[in-house]
Amino acid sequence: MALRPVPVVDIDHYVCSERFMTPAPATADELGRLAFIKYVFSLALTQAKQPEPLSNVALLLLHDSIEAFLQLACARLGLKVGDDKFMPLCGAVDAKLREQSEVLPEIGRMPALNSARGALKHKGVFPSARELERHVQMAIRFFDQASPMIFAVSFDRISMADLVTCGPARDELKRAEQALEADDVGGGLLACALAL
């Protein structure tokens, strides 16, 4: 992530260098909530692969995962949004990011996602397969860009282990993930066994 100059900042959630600020690392609580958001998003991706009309449930899950992310972003950025609905959340987070010379990723495509979700949920109007795929790709780009921008963590590095509340078990599961990334299957299995 490139460091960018920022004119106004909530210092509690940013780390200073001489001329630039970057988001402070996500807290353990934030990582747990991000892991849940990633789980809901993974359900959306799985559902999108189902045949029509079952695939359309993905639209609801995409919307829910982004909305939960925006709620967490509001909490991190110290924003009080009177209306907890999707578009006001988008607007509030985007406005705060613009103060820091950033733009909420995919902000221009959020109204289309919100409208498609409303049409499906409230009117029973299914999106076309092509439209659903556009929403899936938009959500992938959103999480890939917004997570490091706001929480200083790559979305693909968020671990389901962060949902585990027992600290020692969570630590072992994270060791197992690291072992598997290093092609140490035995070490990964041992760490999983210790987590239990």
Give yes or no for a contact between 137 and 145, defined as CB atoms under 8 angstroms apart: no
Range of 190's domain? 164-196
Please tell me whether the overall predicted TM-score, pTM, comes out greater than 0.85 for this model: no
Strand partners, 22: 15
User: What is the DSSP secondary-structure string of 46-95?
Assistant: HHHTSPTTGGGHHHHHHHHHHHHHHHHHHHHHT---SS-SHHHHHHHHHH
Torsion sign over Cα 79, 60, 48, 38: positive
Q: 24-28, 36-40, 175-179 — which one is most confidently predicted on average?
A: 36-40
Question: Could you give the CA distance from residue 153 to residue 71 in angstroms, rounded to a whole number?
Answer: 17
Would 8 be classed as within a structural domain? no
CATH number at residue 80: 1.20.120
Say yes or no to pLDDT of 102 above 50: yes
Say yes or no to pLDDT of 155 above 50: yes
Residue closest to 106 by CA, chosen among 132, 143, 74: 143
Count CB neighbours of 65 within 10 A: 23
Would 169 be classed as within a structural domain? yes
Q: Can you give the length of the chain in residues?
A: 196
Question: Could you give the CA distance from residue 90 to residue 53 in angstroms, rounded to a whole number?
Answer: 28
Task: Give residue for tokens 């860009």.
Answer: 145
Answer yes or no: do 45 and 107 share one domain. yes
Would 147 be classed as within a structural domain? yes
Q: Domain count for the chain, please give it.
A: 2
For residues 9-22, give the mean pLDDT: 45
**Which pair of structure tokens corresponds to residue 189?**
């299995």
Answer yes or no: do 120 and 171 share one domain. no
